[in-house]
Structure 1
Amino acid sequence: MIIHTLKILGTLFYHQRGKAESVELVRSLVTENVLQTETLHALTSLTDEQLEHDFSVLFEGMGSMPVPPWGSVYLDKEQVLFGDSNTQYRLFLQQHGIELDSGQREPEDQFGLMLLACAYFLEQDQTQAACELLGEHLMPWGSTYLEQLREKAPNPFYQRLAADVSKWLNALIQQQHIEVVKKKIYLDE
């Protein structure tokens, strides 16, 4: 179930889907008690156009991006894409035989893409690598990212999604006894 959940969550944060498909994905996670029913209701209240627009703003960088989904923006003093933390994460992936190629020049440390990589590790019975990904590469900045998304997302669906995912990831980390490395977070405030 954890692999399935990580894949769906990764998809919601990385792959733009139409409203009908997004509703089915979210409904499946409500059934598994990962997301709240209110999160599904918030999604169903959006128009197709609003969902598409807000996804582009939040995850693809259309216009002014209120909450960047890349780790290096939070972990590097210069708050740049492809920063040192992304380089470290790329090396971690390469050490475990993964080279991501989405066909676009983009940082590997995108929140949803990292959830998908974690699911991949679990599918390959690389539990230690999945735990390391969560504890050393995703969650040192992921909690801050989800908190910012909850506060600044342009609609209640993404606000609720951020809150639900934060709660689920924190429960997973506690359940699996994963130690999250403390790293300095750089935010423009």
Structure 2
Amino acid sequence: MIIDTHKLLGSLFYQATSKEQLVTIVEALVESEVLSEECLQALRGEDEDALAAEFSRLFEGVGDMPAPPWGSVYLDKDRVVFGASTVEYRQFLELNQIELDTGLREPEDQFGLMLFAHAYLLENNNINSAGELLEGYLLTWSSVYLEKLNKASELSFYKKLSVDVIDWFKYLTSEYNLNVATKKLYID
């Protein structure tokens, strides 16, 4: 279940899709009890053009990015993409024979891409590395990012999505006794 969940969640944070596709994804995540019915209702109430514009603003860097989706922005003192934490994460991916080739020059520590990498590790029965990805990389900064996303979004859907994903990660941390590494975060 977590494999499919993280693929679907990853797509919400990485791939621009139509409202119809978003509804299908969110319905599946509501059925799996990962997202709330309120999140789905918020999505249904959004305008398609507004969703597309907000996705671009929040995830693609159109204009000022109020909640950058890259771990290095929160983990590196200089708050830059492709920082030292990105290099460290890239080495982790290489050790686990994961090559993320999106066709773009972008950091691998993008929130949605990290969810895809986690799903890939689980698909390949690499349970220890999947746990390490959560404990040592993604969960170290994700709650701060998701809280910023919640405050930055102008749409109810992304506000509800961010809260639901925070709750999902709390559930995973508790259910699987994850020991999340404490890392210094650089935030406003």
TM-score, length-normalised on structure 1?
Answer: 0.98
> Would you say 1:120 and 2:120 are equivalent positions?
yes
**Alignment partners' CA distance in 2, 1:26 and 1:123:** 22
Indicate the residue corresponding to 2:10 in structure 1: 10
Indicate the residue corresponding to 2:99 in structure 1: 99
TM superposition shift of 1:170: 1.4
Matches within 5 A, 1:46-61: 46-61=46-61
Indicate the residue corresponding to 1:146 in structure 2: 146
What amino acid is the match of 1:53? A
**Alignment partners' CA distance in 2, 1:40 and 1:98:** 32
**Alignment partners' CA distance in 1, 2:49 and 2:141:** 30
**Alignment partners' CA distance in 2, 1:176 and 1:101:** 30
**Alignment partners' CA distance in 2, 1:107 and 1:170:** 25
**Alignment partners' CA distance in 2, 1:13 and 1:179:** 24
Provide structure 2 residue ranges, at least 5 long, that are not aligned to the other structure: none
TM superposition shift of 1:154: 1.6
Indicate the residue corresponding to 2:110 in structure 1: 110
Q: 1:31-76 deviations in whole A, cap 9, x for unaligned?
A: 1111111101111111111111000000000011110000000000
TM superposition shift of 1:99: 1.4
Count of paired positions = 188
**Alignment partners' CA distance in 2, 1:48 and 1:163:** 21
What amino acid is the match of 2:37? T
Indicate the residue corresponding to 2:38 in structure 1: 38
Indicate the residue corresponding to 2:82 in structure 1: 82
TM superposition shift of 1:15: 0.6
RMSD, aligned α-carbons: 0.7
What amino acid is the match of 2:61? G
Provide structure 1 residue ranges, at least 5 long, that are not aligned to the other structure: none
The range that moved more, 169-178 or 125-134, is: 169-178
Q: Deviating runs (4+, > 3 A) in structure 1?
A: none
What amino acid is the match of 1:35? L
Indicate the residue corresponding to 2:166 in structure 1: 166
The range that moved more, 152-161 or 114-123, is: 152-161
